[in-house]
Chains A and B, each alone.
Chain A
Amino acid sequence: MKIVISNTSDLPLYQQIKDQIKDAILREELTQGDALPSIRSFANDLKVSVLTIRRVYEELEKEGFVTSQVGIGTFVSAGNLDLLRDSKRRLVEEKMQDIIHTAKSLSITKEELMEMMDILYEEE
């Protein structure tokens, strides 16, 4: 799992970390049952406060991405597979929105866009 904190981003630290963990889970870099690092060691490695990591884990748990057991640790939970799937779809949809927005501003038509999509999809 790669977590990089940007010094110039406008997002609060905990948001950046949370988003990147969520991405990792959605990209299935982290799967059901994987243990997340302990709060203290994670905080040390990222050079952030334990309170920030605590907040990240709490919010991830509230959103259904992880479960935590006191004294044992925090683990990725696929308890909400639908939620995950929806989130994945939403991720792609968000990126699509970006593409469509950019295309429209550059006066690219829907047909041209679909052509580009076909070509690029085959290349991957």
Chain B
Amino acid sequence: MNTILHPILEVHHLNKSYKDFALQDVSFSLPEGCITGFIGANGAGKTTTLHTLLGLTGADSGEIRFFGMDMREQAEEIKNRIGVVLDSNCFYEGLTLNQMKNIIAPAYSRWCEEDYQRYLRTFSLNPKQTIKTLSKGMRVKYALTLALSHKAEFLIMDEPTSGLDPLIRSQVLGILADYMENGGRGVFFSTHITSDLDKIADTLILIDDGKILFQEEKDVLLDSYRIVKGDVCWLTADTRPLFINVSETAFGFTALTRQAARVQAMMPEAVMERPHIEDIMLGVIGENVPAKERR
């Protein structure tokens, strides 16, 4: 089996400062064939990073490569091969779906009208309807339709499922899974809805306060942490340092740990469970807080 995975997106030492926020030394590398979730709290830098990747704003320093090509030199060619889903309000409201499509389609050399019609049908969208009258869920589906109708090899999306009801979210995630099975080479989407990532992500990148805290395979991440529940009296000076994000009540404590084996040894009766992505996210961000306060 060919196990060499060429990175489909590489970011090296990206820096971008604003007045009261800065992306600092952001680096990551997305292997091909993966759905990557870009997670972080609101204001952590997800959208800024995405905007910088897409060329909407210039980086102060750093390198961005898609499919091995430098964004500074081959932006048009890269953009031709990626599908973009931004905010659902990035259309001319007064236009119909078809009119908006007729503006977007000629930009792409591999626009496929059959794909467009097919997605319209799949999503039950009426092409003659005015964009203004679409609900949020329909707008996201329309944005996906446009992004998927030009044989894009890579999808970049900014919080595509936020504000959507669980049914539509599930539909969107299903479309992403289909996309990967049918020729898609990668998906990169930012979100703060971690339950979506539990279902569909292959790799995760966590950003907080403009810095990348980790990039990891989802399952490796879930394997390396455990949720520990036990009696508060087991938390001693020796055991406390093993935990992150301890929450104590009158009935016991719950905490996250990276050192499951040691915890097991020192508290053999503690209950150990696999965490969810949210637990890890909260734990790692919580660890990062002292660093922020030091600034």
Contact = CB atoms under 8 A, between A and B. Distances in A.
Contacts of A7: 273-274
Nearest to A43: B202
A68 B33 CA distance: 17
A3 B247 CA distance: 34
Interface residues of B, number: 26
A8 B274 contact: yes
A52 B219 contact: yes
Interface in A9-31: 10, 12-14
A58 B1 contact: yes
Contacts of A8: 272-274
B222 interface: yes
B79 interface: no
Given A40-B180, A49-B201, A50-B202, A58 B272 contact: no
B3 A58 contact: yes
Contacts of B3: 54, 58
Contacts of A74: 1
Contacts, number: 56
B201 A12 contact: no
B19 interface: no
A1 interface: no
A65 interface: no
Interface string B29-44: 0010111000000000
Contact of A14 (B35, B219, B260): B219
B219 A48 contact: yes
Contacts of A43: 202
A45 B212 CA distance: 30
Interface in A39-55: 40-41, 43-44, 47-52, 54
Contact of B219 (A40, A51, A57, A70): A51
4 smallest CB-CB distances across A and B, nearest first, come from A49-B202, A52-B219, A12-B223, A13-B219
